Amino acid sequence: MKAKASPSRARFWELPLSRLTDLEWELLCDGCGRCCLQKLQDEDGGQLMWTRIICRFFDEATSRCSCYESRTKKVPSCLDVRTLKTEDLSWMPPTCAYRLRMQGQSLPSWHPLLHGSRGAMEAAGVAVTGKVLSEEYVHPDSYEEHVIRWVEST
């Protein structure tokens, strides 16, 4: 989606999420794809583990969901960031603009809204493109073999 916010709200991303228009809400997403990664949760300690396995509906060519409007119907476990509660924030990547803004923090320096393109984000290694494997090709019993650490470190 290539859209611009109105000039009068040039720094809309600094506003509370509740004050954003629908367009501004969508523009806040950097398109990294990290929220579409499959996660595992340790049964004993509750630790969240990220995998390189990505939702079958994630389109690497566009870095977007191929069924965005119906995603929560097709994938009931898909998080709807508009209804996300503070206690659910750990299920979003630490770099996520929605998570950061809910916590009162600024956007990361590489965010496309600050640069006008994805270049800085890609240079920072945040985008999942080229690092993931579709869930279509991985048996659920082998998800543990695909645990990654780079989500927490960038």
Mean confidence (pLDDT) of the chain: 89
Tell me whether residue 2 is in a domain: no
Query: Distance between alpha carbon 97 and the CA centroid of its chain, in Å?
Result: 8
The pLDDT tens digits of the residues spanning 81-96 come to 888 888 888 889 999 9
Residue 1 has pLDDT above 50, yes or no: no
Residue 140 inside a domain? The answer is: yes
Q: Is residue 133 part of a domain?
A: yes
44-49: average pLDDT: 87
| Tally of domains in the chain | 1
Residues 28 and 22: beta-carbon distance below 8 Å: no
Evaluate whether residue 83 is within a structural domain. Answer: yes
Residue 6: pLDDT above 60? Answer: no
* 1 domain residue, yes or no: no
Determine, yes or no, domain membership for 21: yes
Residue 96 placed within a domain:
yes
- Does any domain span residue 34? yes
For residue 11, give the DSSP letter. Answer: T
CA distance 98 to 58: 19
Domain that holds residue 98: 7-153
